[in-house]
C-alpha cells in the first residue's frame, strides 16, 4: 500500500515544484582513507584510539571506503533519483595541520566528487565542518576553545570556496555546533572528549564566531554563493508538570534551540541562558554578536527526535514507555517536527529552511539478499508528511535530505547503528538498496513525474 503509486503521488503532490529531494553523509563517517594522499589526522582519528571511546572499538580508518569507491557510490546516489547530495569536506584533507597551503591531492578528491555529482545532474550541498577538526589544532592550539581556531576556519572556508565555488553553490559552515560544544566538550562522549561546561560554552561561542567569519570569507571569495549553517533542533517539553521539570525544559530549550537561533538570527545570546550559565558563560567581545549574525541564505535543520526534560535525567533524548523508539532509543515523533518548524517560523525571521538530516537507525536483517526495513521507511514517510504539514502552514522548507546514504560510522557507537538507505556489508563493502531506499526512489520518481511531466529517470534534474 505504501508503495502504491497513488499514495506516493499524493504525498509528492504536497511539495512545491522547486522542492529538492536529497540524501546526506559526512566525510569522517564514510570516507575512510584516513591517511591517504597527504590527509592529516583529525580529532576523531585520535579519539578513536582511546580505549572505550567507541562502543565496538572501531574507528574511521576504512569506514565505507567511500574515498576509493567514489564513482560507484555516486551511481548509488543517482539511482535514488535525488536532485541534491549533502556531504562534508574533511578539513584535514585540505589543510593537514589546520592552516597553511592546500593539500592539492585532498582537494582533488572533492573536485572528483563535485564533478561527478554535476555530471549526474545532482546539486552539491557542501558542509565545511562535520566534527573532524585537524588534530594539530587540538594538540597545539586547544582546538575550538581557542579563538584563533575561528580565524583558521575562516581561512579554510575561503580556500574551499575559491576552489569549489565555481561548481558548488551551497556552503554550510558547521554541522550541529551544539554537538561539537556539548557532546564534545561538556559530556565528553565525542572528540575531543573534554568534560567542562565553561569550556563547552566557549567552544560554542567560537564555533558561532567561526561561522560568521567563514560566511564573510566565503562571500569574499564569490558573491553568488549561498551560505548557511546546520543546527540540530528538537522541541523540548517537561516530563511532568513539576516546576523543577518545567524549569529544566526551559533551560534545555534555551541551550539547544534559543542559544543558537538567537545568536544567528537576533544578534545576541538569550539573557535567561546567560544568567543560568553564570560563571560558565563564554567570553564574548563587543564585535562578536554582529559577526555571528551574518545574513543567512538558508538554515539547515537536523531533526531526529523530541526532547522530554526532567531534572532527574538532564539532557537525555526523549523516551517514554508508550512511545515507539528507534535503535538509538530516540522517540519517533513526526508531529513534533511540524510543531518545531511552526514554532521557529513564528519566533524568528527565518531564511529558507532545508531539513538537512532526518532518518532512523534500526536493526537491519538481510534475508535472501533483501533488507525489508519497513520501520525505517515508515519513519521517513511520516517525517516527509510532517514537513508537508509545515509547508501547508506557510513554512518555507526548500528541501529534505535523508540521513543517510549508506550505513556508516555512527561516532561513539561505531558501526553498530545503521541509518543507511543502502545496507553496507562491512567485510566486503557490498552495498544493497534497502526497502526504504526503494520507497524513497519511488517518491522522488513520483515527484519528478508530477513536477516535470513524466521526465522521471533516476538522477534526472529539474530545470534551473
Ligand atoms: C547527527 C549527525 C550525523 C549522524 C546523525 C545520526 O547528529 O550530524 O553525523 O550521526 O546524527
DSSP codes of every residue in 180-197: IIIIHHTS-SSTT----H
Please tell me the distance between residue 348's alpha carbon and the centre of ligand 1 in angstroms.
25
Q: Which three cell numbers stand for residue 24?
A: 546526506
pLDDT score recorded for residue 440: 98
d(CA 262, CA 267): 6
- pLDDT of 462 reads 38
The atom number, within ligand 1, closest to the CA of 179 reads 7
Average pLDDT over residues 409-425: 98
Q: What's the DSSP call for residue 324?
A: -
The number of CA neighbours under 13 Å toward the Cβ of 235 is: 16
| pTM for the whole structure | 0.96
Ligand 1 centroid–CA 414 distance in Å is 12
Given its phi and psi angles, is residue 176 left (phi above 0), alpha (psi -120 to 50 degrees) or beta?
left
Average pLDDT over residues 373-378: 98
Q: Is residue 153 within 6 Å of ligand 1 at its C-beta?
A: no
Residue 301 · residue 218 · CB < 8 Å: no
Local confidence band at 2 (pLDDT 50, 70, 90 cut-offs): low
Percent of the chain with pLDDT over 90: 92
**357 catalytic residue (yes or no):** yes
Range 402-424 average pLDDT: 98
How many residues in the chain? 464
For ligand 1, is residue 419 a contact (CB within 6 Å)? yes
Using the predicted structure, report yes or no on whether residue 459 has a pLDDT greater than 90: no
pLDDT at 72 over 90: yes
Structure confidence at residue 251 (pLDDT):
96
Evaluate whether 413 touches 401 at the Cβ level (below 8 Å). Answer: no
The pLDDT of residue 430 is above 50: yes
Give the tens place of pLDDT for each residue, 340-359: 999 999 999 999 999 999 99
Q: Helix, strand or coil for residue 78?
A: helix
Given this model, what pLDDT does residue 285 score? 98
Burial 235-271 (b: 16+ CB within 10 A, else e): bbbbbeeeeebbebbbbbbbbbbbbbbbbbbeeebbe
Percent of the chain clearing pLDDT 70 (strictly above): 96
- Could you confirm whether 176 is annotated as catalytic? yes
Amino acid at each position: 500500500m505504501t508503495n502504491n503509486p497513488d499514495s506516493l503521488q499524493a504525498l509528492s503532490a504536497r511539495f512545491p515544484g522547486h522542492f529538492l529531494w536529497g540524501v546526506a553523509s559526512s566525510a569522517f563517517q564514510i570516507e575512510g582513507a584516513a591517511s591517504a594522499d597527504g590527509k592529516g589526522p583529525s580529532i576523531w582519528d585520535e579519539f578513536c584510539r582511546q580505549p572505550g571511546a567507541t562502543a565496538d572499538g572501531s574507528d574511521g580508518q576504512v569506514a565505507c571506503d567511500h574515498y576509493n569507491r567514489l564513482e560507484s557510490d555516486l551511481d548509488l546516489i543517482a539511482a535514488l533519483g535525488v536532485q541534491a547530495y549533502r556531504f562534508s569536506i574533511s578539513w584535514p584533507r585540505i589543510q593537514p595541520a589546520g592552516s597553511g597551503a592546500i593539500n592539492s591531492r585532498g582537494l582533488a578528491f572533492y573536485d572528483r566528487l563535485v564533478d561527478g555529482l554535476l555530471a549526474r545532474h545532482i546539486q552539491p550541498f557542501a558542509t565545511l565542518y562535520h566534527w573532524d577538526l585537524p588534530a594539530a589544532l587540538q594538540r597545539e592550539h586547544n582546538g575550538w576553545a581557542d579563538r584563533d581556531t575561528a580565524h583558521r576556519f575562516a581561512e579554510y572556508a575561503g580556500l574551499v570556496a575559491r576552489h569549489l565555488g565555481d561548481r558548488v553553490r551551497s556552503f554550510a559552515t558547521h554541522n550541529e555546533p551544539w554537538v561539537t560544544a556539548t557532546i564534545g566538550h561538556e559530556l565528553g562522549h565525542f572528540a575531543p572528549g573534554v568534560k567542562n561546561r565553561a569550556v563547552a560554552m566557549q567552544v560554542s561561542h567560537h564555533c558561532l564566531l567561526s561561522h560568521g567569519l567563514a560566511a564573510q570569507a566565503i562571500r569574499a571569495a564569490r558573491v553568488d554563493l549561498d551560505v548557511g549553517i546546520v543546527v540540530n533542533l528538537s522541541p523540548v517539553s517537561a516530563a511532568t508538570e513539576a516546576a523543577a521539570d518545567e524549569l529544566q525544559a526551559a533551560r534545555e530549550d534555551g541551550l539547544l534551540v534559543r542559544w543558537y537561533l538567537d545568536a544567528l538570527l537576533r544578534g545576541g545570546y538569550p539573557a535567561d541562558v546567560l544568567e543560568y550559565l553564570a560563571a560558565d558563560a563564554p567570553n564574548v567581545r563587543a564585535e562578536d554578536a554582529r559577526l555571528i549574525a551574518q545574513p543567512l541564505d538558508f538554515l539547515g535543520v537536523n531533526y531526529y527526535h523530541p526532547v522530554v526534560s526532567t531534572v532527574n535525567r538532564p539532557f537525555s533524548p526523549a523516551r517514554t514507555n508508550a512511545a515507539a523508539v528507534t535503535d538509538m532509543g530516540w522517540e519517533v515523533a513526526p508531529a513534533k517536527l511540524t510543531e518545531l518548524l511552526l514554532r521557529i517560523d513564528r519566533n524568528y525571521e527565518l531564511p529558507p529552511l532545508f531539513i538537512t538530516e532526518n532518518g532512523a537507525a534500526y536493526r537491519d536483517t538481510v534475508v535472501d539478499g533483501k533488507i525489508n526495513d519497513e520501520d525505517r521507511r515508515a519513519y521517513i514517510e511520516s517525517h516527509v508528511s510532517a514537513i508537508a504539514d509545515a509547508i501547508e502552514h506557510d513554512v518555507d522548507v526548500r528541501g529534505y535530505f535523508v540521513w543517510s546514504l549508506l550505513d556508516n560510522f555512527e561516532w561513539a557507537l561505531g558501526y553498530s547503528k545503521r541509518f543507511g538507505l543502502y545496507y553496507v556489508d562491512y567485510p566486503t563493502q557490498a552495498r544493497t538498496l534497502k526497502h526504504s531506499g526503494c520507497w524513497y526512489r519511488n517518491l522522488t520518481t513520483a515527484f519528478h513525474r508530477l513536477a516535470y511531466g513524466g521526465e522521471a529517470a533516476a538522477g534526472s534534474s529539474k530545470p534551473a
